[in-house]
Copies of this chain bind each other. A is one copy, B any other.
Amino acid sequence: MKYEREALASLLKILERIYDQMSRGEVPEIDIATRTKYNIEFDENSEVWVYGDRTSTRSAKTVRGAYMLLRMAYVIGFLKEQLKANKSSTLRELYYISENWGLAKFDEQAESDRLIEDLEILTSFQREHFRIRPEEDGATVIGPLRIRENTRRGVREIHCQEDVGEGGYQIPVNVDNIEFVDHDADFVIAVETGGMRDRLVENGFDEKFRAIIVHLKGQPARSTRRLLKRLNAELNLPVVVFTDGDPWSYRIYASVAYGSIKAAHLSEYLATPSAKFVGIRPSDIVKYDLPSDKLTDKDIQALKAILTDPRFDTEFWKNEINLQLELGKKSEQQALAKYGLDYVTDVYLPERLTELGVLK
């Protein structure tokens, strides 16, 4: 609640500034960071990509700008009432709620989503602090970790091995409502696919290797990335990312490690720069003679785009991507099953994690 009250105060300041401008007889306007790839830069301190200095101005001099400020006033008013009523809402609900706002009604959800992003950037808070929830579906966790979750129905203390079924602990939308109570873990492994997550759980990987297994469910939700960041920063646990061996999966890794361009204002909050990429690596396709599929034209395009992505500008990635383009192949995590169901937990992961220095 502390963060939420501060976030609200920060939101109300935006309106005060507009009010002051108007009472001085000025046309109200707001400056906000430009969100394009030409305005992101690497922050040496936090080791993540953040927005640069370029800003654009929304001014009531234009009809479009005036509408935008009107809508912002309505949205902040709604967020204030919502916090007072101890409620939250989804981005989708917010869009529908504007239905009764007359001129301030949004024409499509992209507009209201964008306005919430603007408010995040203007206040340096996250939409979770405004109690705006995504539709996204958060990760599940299994491993030697005891958490305390602050729910609307009281506090729950849950051990993520002993108090959950095989499905694991379902993390809530606002991960900041979780406290880490204690743990017995040596590292965190984030897994792309459900099939592989279930394989690690079935093979007792979390018990044998003192690992916290987090299911990414494809491109990870914000709440999942926030959880990984917190496990890394607060518990000082190394994070490794285990995905398929294709360009879309490398992007999943990048979004965990470096953050995304669309949400660079949140990188410090969401990114785990020390996260290591386990694989599947293109060189693994050769090394382990893995069953593979042919790269599609879209895969090839995406691989070429990665070669110019500043987040992948390292020797390691250039070699791997060029090798993959040469091979013309991609492989999935589950392709390791070629050598039996235990190969991934008995051979592949122990070897790779020792190489990476995660296992000693």
Interfacial residues, chain A to chain B (CB-CB below 8 A): 82, 87-90, 92-94, 96-97, 99-100, 133, 135-138, 140, 149, 151-153, 156, 158, 161-173, 177-178, 193-195, 198-199, 202, 204, 207, 217, 291, 332, 334-338, 340-341
Contact assessment for B168 and A337 in the assembled complex, using a CB-CB cutoff below 8 Å: no
Please indicate the chain B residues that have their CB under 8 angstroms from the CB of A194 in the complex: 135-137
Smallest CB gap from A171: residue in B: B167
Also in contact, A195 and B90, with CB within 8 A (given A96-B334, A334-B96, A338-B97): yes
Q: Which of A82, A152, A195 has the most CB of B within 10 A?
A: A195
Please judge, given known A-B contacts A97-B338, A338-B97, whether A166 and B195 are in contact too, CB under 8 Å. no
Summarize A's interface: helix, strand, loop or mixed.
mixed
Chain B contacts for A171, CB-based, 8 A:
165, 167
A149: chain B residues at CB < 8 Å are 165-166
Q: Could you say how many copies of this chain the assembly holds?
A: 2
Q: A158–B165 contact, CB under 8 A?
A: yes
Is A166 in contact with B137, judged by CB distance below 8 angstroms? no
Q: How many angstroms between the C-alpha atoms of A165 and B140 in the bound complex?
A: 12
Give A167 to B152 CA distance when docked, in angstroms: 12
What CA separation (Å) do A194 and B173 show in the bound complex?
A: 11
Asked whether A161 lies within 8 Å of B153 as measured between CB atoms, the reply is yes
Q: A96-B337, A137-B217 are in contact. Are A166 and B152 (CB under 8 A)?
A: yes
Minimum C-beta distance from A78 to chain B (A)? 10
Contact A334 B163 (CB under 8 A): no
Closest CB-CB distance, A51 to chain B, in whole Å? Answer: 29
> With A166-B151, A291-B99 known to touch, is A334 a contact of B195 (CB < 8 Å)?
no
